[in-house]
Structure formats: structure tokens, C-alpha cells
Amino acid sequence: MTELTPASETPSPRILRRQERTRQAILAAATECFNNKSVATVSVEEITAAADISRGTFYKLFPHKEEVFLQIARPMLKLYSTELARIECTGPREVFDRILGVYIRVWRELPEAFSLASKESRNVFHLLEDTHRPAMHHMRRLFAYIERHGILRAERADFAVALLARSAVVVLRTFDHDPEWEALFRDSMSGFLLKDQFGRR
């Protein structure tokens, strides 16, 4: 007597679509919760309440809340790193403008993830080291090139990188609803990080 082959346990396309909608709802709810408080202080219960799902549904899709944070922040960091990697050292001012352009693109496409990653950079970024390290490599490479041309107000590349990382999201949020936000961001960051004769066109 031959044994029956077990039925495939692969979920149907309809179930997969429903799971993806639920996953996206969790990511959206968690992003808001994390931005309002922090990854450390937000509970799974708060996320499930905001997403209107059960704890069981949450744990079917995510092992813990830190994994939710990773899935929010990682696509933003990959976009950020990929865009920085494309910048060639064609001139110090041009390189600086293109770095600001990367910030503008990431803010335009993933503002809440960008804001969250910036806020949580000291607390849980060790979880994103594999994604964060290449981005920082490209940023240091580009600012080291700019430093050699003597146009940085802070003189040193590492200072400029730290200042940009800590202030960019604050400035972007400040100008977010202004129709000229991109120009205002560029002008503000240029004036902040570059010497006077290079800060504005």
C-alpha cells in the first residue's frame, strides 16, 4: 500500500497577498509608534493595537519588534548607500551638492523611515551594521575628498559627516511643508557645513 503524498503547504496567492497587506500594516503602525516614542519603549501590544491585529498574527510575521525596525530601516539605508556609491569625485562643490541630493531623494521616498533611523542611530543601529557600514564608507570617502579641497567649515571630514548626520533630518522636517523645501535644505546645509565663499551659489 503506497502512502499518500502530503498536500503542498505553500500558501495560496490570495493568502500571500493578505499576509503582505498585514505585514505592511504592521510596518506602518510600528513606524508611527517608534517615531512617537522609541524602539526600546514601544511594546508589541502597542504595535498590534495600532495595526488592529492580534499578537498571534504579529508573531506569525515577525519574531520580535526589533525585526520590524530592521524591515523599516533597511530599505532606506540600502537606497541611501546605493545613491552615495554612484557619486563620483568630479569636484568638491559638485560632490557636496550630490550628497545633499541623496538626502533629498531618500526624504522624498522614505521620510518616516529616514526620520526613525536618524533618531534611533545610537540605540539600535548595531542591528543594521551590515547595511550601515557600506553607507558610512561611501560618506567618509566623499567627505575626505571634499576635505582635501579646504572648503569644509569644520575643516575635518569626520566632523562634517557627524554634523550632517545629526542635523539633516531636523532641517528637512523644519522645511517639509514649504514648497521650496529642497532649495531651503540645500542652502541651509551648505551654509552650515561649507565655508562662506562656498556655502551659496
The predicted-structure confidence for 112-161, as pLDDT tens digits, reads as follows: 999 998 888 677 767 888 888 899 999 999 999 999 999 999 999 999 99
Q: Average pLDDT of 44-64?
A: 96
Q: Are 111 and 176 part of one and the same domain?
A: yes
Does residue 186 fall inside a structural domain? yes
Q: Is the pLDDT of residue 72 over 60?
A: yes
Q: Average pLDDT of 3-11?
A: 57
Q: For residues 17 and 15, what is the distance between their CA atoms, to the nearest angstrom?
A: 5
Whole-model pTM: value is 0.86
Q: Are 78 and 55 part of one and the same domain?
A: no
| Set of cell numbers at residue 45 | 501590544
Tally of domains in the chain: 2
Q: Average pLDDT of 33-54?
A: 95
Q: Are 75 and 154 part of one and the same domain?
A: yes
Q: Which residue has the higher pLDDT, 123 or 105?
A: 105
Does residue 8 fall inside a structural domain? no
Q: Average pLDDT of 95-101?
A: 98
Q: Is the pLDDT of residue 6 over 60?
A: no
Domain span including residue 47: 13-62
Q: For residues 67 and 173, what is the distance between their CA atoms, to the nearest angstrom?
A: 26
Does residue 92 fall inside a structural domain? yes
> Which pLDDT band, with edges at 50, 70 and 90, does 51 fall under?
very high
Per-residue model confidence (pLDDT) at position 200: 56
For the chain, what percent of residues have pLDDT higher than 90? 80
Q: For residues 41 and 34, what is the distance between their CA atoms, to the nearest angstrom?
A: 8
Q: For residues 150 and 53, what is the distance between their CA atoms, to the nearest angstrom?
A: 55
Q: Are 20 and 58 part of one and the same domain?
A: yes
> Which pLDDT band, with edges at 50, 70 and 90, does 196 fall under?
confident
